Structure formats: structure tokens, C-alpha cells
A and B are shown apart, each in its own frame.
Chain A
Amino acid sequence: MSTLLLLVITGLGLGALYFLVASGLSLIYGLMGVLNFAHGSFLTISAFLGWEVGRRVSDGTWAGLALSALVGMLVGAVVAAATEYLLIRRLYERHIEQALVTVGLALASVALFEGIWGTDPIYTQKPEWLGETTEILGAKIPNDRFLLIACALLVLGGIVLFLQRTRYGLIIRAGVENRSMVTALGIDVRRSFTIVFAIGGAAAGLGGVLASVYYGYVSAHLGSVLLIFAFIVTVIGGLGSLTGAAIASVLVAVLQQFANYYLGGTGDLVVVIALAAVLLVRPRGLMGKAA
């Protein structure tokens, strides 16, 4: 029982991380049809800059971590918005080229990060409490899992509120539904592209700082590892669906933890098989709209 609980909560923690990356991917794809390969780089740069600022102010304290998270979100938002404005916008409506540009950006940026921060992982400090465990029903659960889950829930709530309660949220939801109609009504849908990129970038940036807490290090390849799983989550959840991404990230992460524990470390393989199965049975994903 305690093992089961530990696996589930660890899975939820990992799922929180996947969700932070996948939410942006899914929104961007839903609105613009762009498969953003550079999303992992948004995460990595935020993790690095967040860590750089955090360690200069106060290393391993809550204040330092909060500052890192803020910096991470800001960096992620700015970098993502700049990417959209400078690169993606020029290739409006040419989806393959847009994806190709993000591929190039991902390759170039990872190489740049390696050049600046080296190829080896850099170990980070975190507040003492996060390194300890809490006992729930006999299961010793690392405390950082709770932080991850709380942050992901906050982000999910924030994005849902933004989409449901604000004017821009309305335009974005309408744009996902039918972009040409929104344009026909005289609304400049392009501004919401930049906003969606900024939101996705901010979520990924927060994910970057939290990933450095979860893994205990930052490295140039932090983003690319998470990105593959985020892609899988996005596709299983249904491209363009935020709820789908949330459900799928939990499912995928928990499944991965269970397979790793009970099936001898085959978590990655099981996830891949799950993706193939979902796509063959239900090509549009769990919550995706009918193609």
C-alpha cells in the first residue's frame, strides 16, 4: 500500500512537470498548428537563468527559489514571445517551415547552452524542507513532489481562469475553435499568437526551475528530455486540449512510474507503446476535437 501511494504521488509530481511543458505545446498547436520543437529550449534557458539569479541572491532558501521561479517564468515568456515575433510570424500559415525553424532553434540553442554552461550537469541547492520526506499512510514521500503538484495546479487554474474570464482568453478559445472565423470578424488574431507563446513559455520556464529542483541539477539537455515526453503527453491528450494535456500528463507519468517499478525499469517503452495504442485506437487523442 505504501509503495503504491509513493508511486502514485511521485507519478503525480512528474506529471506536474510534464503538464507545465505540455500545456504550452498544446495551446500553441491548437491555435496556430505549430509543433514547437524549441519549447524544450525555453525550459532550459529559464532553468539556467533562474538558477544563476537564485544562487547569486541566496542559495538554497525559499526566497532564492521563489526568485528563481519568477525569473524563470519571465525569461520563458520573453524568449517565447520573441521567438514567435521574430521567427514564427514571418512564416505565417506555412506549418512545415514553422516547425523546421523551431527545430533549427532547438539545435542551435542547445549547442549554445553547452558552450556557455558546459556539457556536464550542474548540481543545484534547494531549501532544506524540499530534501526531506513526509510520511503519509506509511509512505515516505519526498516533499518536492508536493511543491510540483501545487505549482502545476496553480498554473492549470491560472490558464483556465485566463481562458474563461478574460477577453484575450475568449479570442484564444475562439481561435482554437475556428481561426478564420475570428479573423473574419475583424479581430487581429496574431496578437493572441504572441500571448499564447508567452503563456506557454512562462509555464515552461516555471517547469524549468521546478525540474532543476526535481532532478537536483540543471543541464543543457534538461529540456530535450522533457520535450519528448511532453510531445507524447500532448498527442495522447489530444492536440489543442488543455484538459486533455492535464489528464494525459498524469496518466503517462503514473504509468511510467508503475512500469519502472513493477516491470523492471521499462517505463519509457511502456509510454511509447501507450502512445502507439492510443493513436491507433483513437487518432485524435483522448480529448482532441474530431479532425
Chain B
Amino acid sequence: MNQQRTDAAAPVDAPTRDTTTGPTPPPAASARRPLLLLAGGVALVVLLAILPLLAIDIPGVLPGPTYTPGTLQLLAYAMLIAALALSYRMMFGLAGLLSFGHALFFAAGAYGLGMTLYAFAPVAWPSELIFLGSIAVTLVVGIVLAATVGSLALRVTGISFAMVTLAFAQAGSVLIRRNPGGATGGDEGLSLDIEHVPDALVGVVNTRNLYWLALGVLVFVYLVVLWVERSRAGHVAEAVRENELRVRVIGLRPYTVKLLIFIVASVLAAVAGMGYLLLQSGASPRIATADFTLTLLVIVVLGGVGYRWGAIVGGIVYTLLDQRLTALAGSDFIAGLPAVLRVPLSEPLFILGTLFILVVLFLPGGIAGIPQRIRTGRKQHPVETEEAADA
């Protein structure tokens, strides 16, 4: 505990200090718990997978029955955002790296795949080869980009790290908007060149396949994140988040581990970005902006930084809320209200922003922390009690 005190003296470390809402240790080890969790997870994935074959209608939450393309499109988008949030949580929640540049890698995945497909278009190879080749090229580009940005940005810590990543992301965003050589489409965005994309992934009729693809991406990202967190590197990263000095003293090198986490998280973001390109049949410059990264931060905190599934819940809740609130804003009910109520309620981001402030102020564990709060009946943030005991 005294060690935390020494941390507080160094202002650069200060911002990383308060992210200690780490996953709570499992209560008194019952051997059946992991099995139950596994069964629950598999059941959930199976349920999600057969959703396009069912006709479940949840009025107010979903725009229509679950088999309709519109609903599937929305759900698939929500799952991709959840996958992206999961990768961001790995960096921010696990390793304590507050990056403002995560959108760069998502955009690199989306734009990278889109641009490679255009670049390969004239080549007379079979379509499948071009499609898979483009994905491989994009992944390599993602790894190289992540390694470059990461190795530079990780030379500094805390707020400076956030600013360097912000600077790189801003540079990427400017480049995309500037449309060098007509490659990125500028403000118009880049449309997907469907010539070499498998037919099963093109068109409204095949939204179902895209939905399954998005689900696959989410499961894949989750498994990778789980694997990294359970690995030795994951444990070291967690230790670095709590106390970097101690890790150094033990004789480990935080830099290597942080770089590894940074690269893995960034490549996962690029994978989600590729899914986004296929789902939306294009990419818009919006996904490269700093605002988009801030949205990710909001999602992760809304869901609960300390919980893996918090990022997933946050991503899905945020996307659905955003979509439904936009629909609500255009409804007759809102139009009939006096201006004082009408103006704020017709801006989804205003409601989401306010909700976010309330969560930060009154619900530090996020949505995923609610069960824990109810179980322990704890009114306070776990960190607060720790600090109180510390003082």
C-alpha cells in the first residue's frame, strides 16, 4: 500500500493509477464455476448464432423482428463495435494504457482492406485468392503500423502517451480526409469494391452471413483477449498497470510487455475494422477521428472497465441506444414537446453524454459492475475503500 504513495508523487504515473477496478478474484474457488461459465458462454453464442432464423421482436429495443436485414445489420454493427471495445479494454483496462489513437487501427483495418482490394482489382488472379490475399496484406500493414506507433508512443507514459497516440491518430485522420491520390475517397468515404468479395458476403439478401461473420469476429477477439489475459504476458501487463516500478525491480521489462499488448490490441482493432468495411460496404472518415476513440472510451467505461464482458455489454448497449435514440428523436412524441425538452431529447449524443457522466459519478463499476454491487451491497467504489484504508 505504501508503494501506491510513491506512485502518487510522480505526476506522470498519476493517470494510470486509478484504473484499479481489475477483475475481482473469483469467490471461494468452486470447481463447477468455470464449467458453468463456459456452458453459459457457449449457449449464448449458439443463441446469437440462431437468431437470424428466429422471429423475436423486442419493440423499443430492436427496429424489427430478428430475421429482417435491418435488425441483423444493426446487431452485427453492435457486435463489431463490441469487439473493438473489447480490444480497447485490453489496452486501457488490462495494461492501463490510456490511448487516444485506437481509432487509427480500426480505420487502418477498414481502409487498408478497401484500398488493397482496389489495388488488386486489375490483377487476373482468382477472386478468392485476391480476397484472402488482401486480408493478409491488411493484417501485415496493421502489425507494422501498430509496431511503429507503439514502439514510439510507449517511450513516454501517462498523459504524454495519450497525446502521442492522439497525434498519430490525428495524422491518420488528416491523411484520410486529404485523399492522397484519390485512394481514400476523402470526406465521401471509401466504397467497397465488391468484384473480388465472395458473393455470400454481398448484398442485403446476405446480411445474415455478414451477421455470422460479425459474431465470428466478436468470438475470435474475445478468445484472443482471454488467451492474452491468462498468459504470462497478461499477468505482467496487469502488474505494470498496478505498479510499474515494482515490476522493474523484479527484473522484468515492462516496455516489451506493453508493446506486445499494444500490438495485439491494435491488430484486433484492425480485424474489427475489416468486418466493418464488409458490413457497411464502405468506410467513412468518421471512424478515424479522435471523437470515435472517445466514443470507445465511453463504451468501455459505460460497460465497466474491470470486466471483459463489460466492454461487450457496453458496445451493444451503446450502439442500440444510439440507434434507438436517433429513431426516438424523429418520432412524433418528441416533436410535440415544448422546445426546452424537445431540443435536448432530439440529440442522442446529449443523452448518451449525460448518461456517461452519471455512470462515472455514481456507478464507477459500469453496467457490468451492477451485479457485484448488489451482491456485496457495497456503496463505495472498491478503490475508495482501498484508499481510505491507505490513509
Task: List residues of chain A with CB under 8 Å of any chain B CB.
Answer: 29, 33, 35, 37, 87, 90-91, 94-97, 99-101, 103-112, 114-116, 224, 228, 231-232, 235, 239, 265, 268-269, 272-273, 275-276, 279-280, 283, 291
Beyond A269-B171, A273-B171, is A279–B361 a contact (Cβ under 8 Å)?
A: no
Main secondary structure of the interface of B (DSSP, over half): helix
B347 is an interface residue with CB less than 8 A from chain A = yes
Beyond A103-B297, A291-B10, is A231–B360 a contact (Cβ under 8 Å)?
A: no
B60 is an interface residue with CB less than 8 A from chain A = no
How many whole Å from B299's CB to the nearest CB in chain A?
Answer: 12
Contact between A272 and B171, CB atoms less than 8 A apart: yes
Q: How far is it, in angstroms, between the C-alpha of A96 and the C-alpha of B160 when the chains are bound?
A: 14
Q: How far is it, in angstroms, between the C-alpha of A199 and the C-alpha of B277 when the chains are bound?
A: 46
Q: How far is it, in angstroms, between the C-alpha of A228 and the C-alpha of B174 when the chains are bound?
A: 13
Beyond A87-B361, A95-B15, A103-B298, is A108–B167 a contact (Cβ under 8 Å)?
A: no
- Among the stretches B35-43, B309-317, B348-356, the one at the interface with A is B348-356
How many whole Å from A278's CB to the nearest CB in chain B?
Answer: 10
Q: How far is it, in angstroms, between the C-alpha of A239 and the C-alpha of B163 when the chains are bound?
A: 11
Q: How far is it, in angstroms, between the C-alpha of A276 and the C-alpha of B149 when the chains are bound?
A: 10
Q: How far is it, in angstroms, between the C-alpha of A111 and the C-alpha of B18 when the chains are bound?
A: 29
Q: Offer 23 A-B interface pairs, CB within 8 angstroms, sorted by A.
A: A29-B159, A33-B14, A87-B357, A99-B15, A100-B360, A101-B357, A103-B297, A103-B298, A104-B298, A107-B291, A108-B352, A108-B356, A111-B353, A112-B347, A115-B344, A115-B350, A228-B170, A228-B290, A232-B163, A235-B159, A235-B160, A276-B164, A280-B164
Q: How far is it, in angstroms, between the C-alpha of A105 and the C-alpha of B357 when the chains are bound?
A: 7
Beyond A111-B350, A273-B171, is A231–B152 a contact (Cβ under 8 Å)?
A: no
How many whole Å from A13's CB to the nearest CB in chain B?
Answer: 22
* Given pairs A232-B167, A239-B159, 5 additional interface contacts (CB within 8 A): A35-B15, A235-B160, A273-B171, A276-B152, A276-B164
Task: Give chain B interface residues in 1-27, CB to chain A under 8 Å.
Answer: 10-12, 14-19
Cβ contact of A95, chosen from B14, B156, B171, B348, cutoff 8 A: B14
Q: How far is it, in angstroms, between the C-alpha of A97 and the C-alpha of B298 when the chains are bound?
A: 11
Beyond A111-B347, A112-B343, A115-B350, is A96–B164 a contact (Cβ under 8 Å)?
A: no
Beyond A97-B360, A283-B160, A291-B10, is A108–B350 a contact (Cβ under 8 Å)?
A: yes
Q: How far is it, in angstroms, between the C-alpha of A115 and the C-alpha of B291 when the chains are bound?
A: 18
